[in-house]
A and B are shown apart, each in its own frame.
Chain A
Amino acid sequence: MNRALRRAPLYTALVLVALFALLPMYIMVITSFKPPAEALISRMWELPSSLSFSAWERGFAILRPYLINSFALAIPATLLSSLVGSINGYIFAMWRFKGSEIVFNALLLGMFIPYQIVLIPLVQTLNTIGLFNTIPGLVLTHVIYGIPITTLIFRNFYARIPMEIIEASQIDGAGLLGTYRRVALPLSLPGFVVVGIWQFTQIWNEFLWAVTITSAGQRPVMVALQNISGSQIVEFDLQMAAALQAALPTLIIYVLLGRYFVRGLLAGAVKG
């Protein structure tokens, strides 16, 4: 039996799984480009007879303000939480002190709690400080609950920088901050890319905080999408176009920088 034939089952399995993986994408893409008359659920699998941007336009008209909200949320929250994670990770990797492992593990546990357990106090606290139903309130929430994962990824990242470099910098008389600025930070770009992509994706896709902390005009795009899909009167093609539009920013990032996304995925799962 020749090699190609022997490997046929392997490729058959791969193609079948790939079809399963692409199934929702197929439906979203073809439906969103259908002329409204063809967007019937009974003809769901059929390709459009002609290209139409009607669903895209109607979807975007509804989602636009919420897409803007999501960018106004995800960009500052990603930058801030990356910065916090970088400083924390740097200290935990290179300036260990008595009890730093315990502190690190205590911070890390915050990653695994079901967020429902903090939801009621969080809403009350944000209400008290006047940040309830605001984008800055959501930013604050994401920065705080992002501390464990960003700290973990950056700690593992800095742990790979040889200690000798730090020691050399210390012999130079540079302190903790000087070493951070002159040695650690310039080496941090890959770390920032991994953490930044991870946090942006998580924050963009998040739903529980978004739906509890914001309402009406302050809502991020995922809550707006849920409202569209929950409504009986919204057309099927518009729902698919809106879903695709809401997914597009993180999908584009994945296509361009998937390598770094996977690194974040593994870094978050494997404790260093």
Chain B
Amino acid sequence: MAQTTGVGVAGSDAGTESAHSPIVRKPRSPWARRFERYLPILLLLPSILAMGIFVYGFIAWTGWVSVSNWTTFVRDLSFGGFDALFSDFRFLSGLRNVIVFTVLFVGASVVIGLSLAMLLDRDPWGAPIWRNLFLFPLAISFVVTGVVWQWLFNPRAGINLVLDRLGTETLPMWYVSTEIIPGWRWGQIDVAIPVALVAVVIAAVWQMSGFAMAIYLAGLQGVSDDLREAARVDGASEGQIYRRVILPMLLPMTITIVIVLGHISLKTFDLIYVMTGPGTGYVTDVPAVYMYESTFRANQFARGAAISVVLLVLVVALMAPAVWARNRTEEAASE
């Protein structure tokens, strides 16, 4: 509301002035005109330079460090750091963990977010209250989330007290568990699901699934009532309307959620660092934690840089196809 009145006032303001302007306007020198022409770029220059240096320059710098063999004093160029990484048990465990974590976390967030959006789309009493309730964890730090859930999943406290009261025979060990649901063997590590990660996934879903809900709700608002009505007239059941009409229209939202939550998940650091740390046998380690400890605890700069290069590659590998798919669905939608 405030915005529209603001526009109106400014518009009429500009309108009255423009009636006099041809008389008031000063002639401009060619130099001043040229300055005006380059002014947009000039004003953007600090930001362009900052991003050029602090993003693109620094990526190149890290790339160089990753092949520099730089520990403390000795530097020489080699890709040995990467070779070592891919035969490093801790790194491979972390890589497996972060991929398992990402699949579980993003998958669960998409399912829960979509379910919540569909519930709220049925227009329950107090819809805004429910929505705000499901969204508030997004305003909280991963550090706070980690501290609290660490206690909730403490095997001697929290959830287990409830399960014990309910008469559960064998209480889960949550993030302390060293069990790994068997998969297949790949070199040194099991490509499988460490049970300890489930607790971290639940905490992350608690924090972020509201994001998926918000995106889906925005998407559902875009599905017009006319369209639903038309489908209903055509004899489609409510279930069919969801499956055939609404879900396909929500595909771009799903891609957006996968991009945003996926890249948050791949670089995840604070939640793991606070809640569990690397864990026994690295069952909850992730590359970002290993990167931090290598670089700032062990002065293994080349290894830290190499891990972060792998992280960047992971994020690009996730985003490139997702962005491509989104552009395609957007093109399809605009045709």
Please give the residue numbers on chain A whose beta carbons come within 8 Å of chain B beta carbons, in ascending order: 7, 10-11, 13-14, 17-18, 20-24, 27-28, 41-42, 44-45, 84, 87-88, 91, 95, 97, 100, 103, 106-107, 109-110, 112-122, 125, 144-145, 147-148, 151, 161-162, 164-165, 168-169, 171-173, 175-177, 182-183, 186-187, 189-190, 201, 204-208, 211-212, 222, 225-226, 229-230, 236, 239-240, 243, 246-247, 250-251, 253-255, 258, 261-262, 265-266, 268-270
Q: List 20 A-B contacts (CB under 8 A).
A: A13-B115, A44-B158, A84-B46, A113-B59, A115-B267, A116-B288, A117-B62, A118-B55, A118-B62, A147-B51, A165-B11, A172-B25, A176-B39, A187-B7, A205-B140, A208-B269, A222-B144, A253-B139, A254-B139, A266-B218
Q: Is B74 part of the contact surface with A, judged by Cβ < 8 Å?
A: no
Residues of B near A226 (CB, < 8 A) are 143, 146-147, 273-274
Residues of A near B135 (CB, < 8 A) are 258, 261-262, 265
Question: A113 near B315 (CB under 8 angstroms)?
Answer: yes
Question: Contacts A117-B58, A119-B308 given: A247-B151 contact, CB under 8 Å?
Answer: no
Q: Is B50 part of the contact surface with A, judged by Cβ < 8 Å?
A: yes
Q: Which of A10, A177, A262 has the most CB of B within 10 A?
A: A262
Give the residue name and chain of the A residue nearest to B270 (CB): A207
Interface SS of chain B? helix
Question: A239 near B151 (CB under 8 angstroms)?
Answer: yes
Closest-CB distance, B97 to chain A (whole angstroms):
16
Q: Give 10 new A-B contacts, CB below 8 A, not counting A148-B51, A269-B257.
A: A27-B152, A41-B151, A91-B43, A120-B62, A121-B58, A168-B18, A208-B269, A236-B151, A243-B144, A270-B256
Question: B312 near A183 (CB under 8 angstroms)?
Answer: no
Residues of B near A204 (CB, < 8 A) are 141
Residues of A near B157 (CB, < 8 A) are 41-42, 44
Question: B40 near A114 (CB under 8 angstroms)?
Answer: no
Give the residue name and chain of the A residue nearest to B9 (CB): A186
Residues of B near A113 (CB, < 8 A) are 55, 59, 312, 315
Residues of B near A211 (CB, < 8 A) are 292
Q: Is B211 part of the contact surface with A, judged by Cβ < 8 Å?
A: yes
Whole-angstrom distance between the alpha carbons of A195 and B295 in the complex?
33
Whole-angstrom distance between the alpha carbons of A190 and B145 in the complex?
30
Residues of B near A225 (CB, < 8 A) are 143-144, 147
Residues of B near A7 (CB, < 8 A) are 124
Count of chain B residues near A, Cβ 8 A: 101
Question: B161 near A212 (CB under 8 angstroms)?
Answer: no
Q: Which of B3, B21, B143 has the most CB of A within 10 A?
A: B143
Closest-CB distance, A265 to chain B (whole angstroms):
6
* A269 interface neighbour in B116, B215, B291, B296, Cβ under 8 Å: B215
Q: Is B136 part of the contact surface with A, judged by Cβ < 8 Å?
A: yes
Whole-angstrom distance between the alpha carbons of A18 and B43 in the complex?
47
Question: B148 near A121 (CB under 8 angstroms)?
Answer: no
Question: A165 near B14 (CB under 8 angstroms)?
Answer: yes
Whole-angstrom distance between the alpha carbons of A27 and B145 in the complex?
12
Residues of A near B312 (CB, < 8 A) are 113-114, 117
Question: A165 near B54 (CB under 8 angstroms)?
Answer: no
Closest-CB distance, B62 to chain A (whole angstroms):
5
Question: A168 near B11 (CB under 8 angstroms)?
Answer: yes
Whole-angstrom distance between the alpha carbons of A14 and B119 in the complex?
8
Whole-angstrom distance between the alpha carbons of A172 and B10 in the complex?
13
Question: A177 near B39 (CB under 8 angstroms)?
Answer: yes
Question: B144 near A116 (CB under 8 angstroms)?
Answer: no
Question: A114 near B267 (CB under 8 angstroms)?
Answer: yes
Q: Is B166 part of the contact surface with A, judged by Cβ < 8 Å?
A: no
Question: B206 near A122 (CB under 8 angstroms)?
Answer: no
Whole-angstrom distance between the alpha carbons of A145 and B55 in the complex?
8
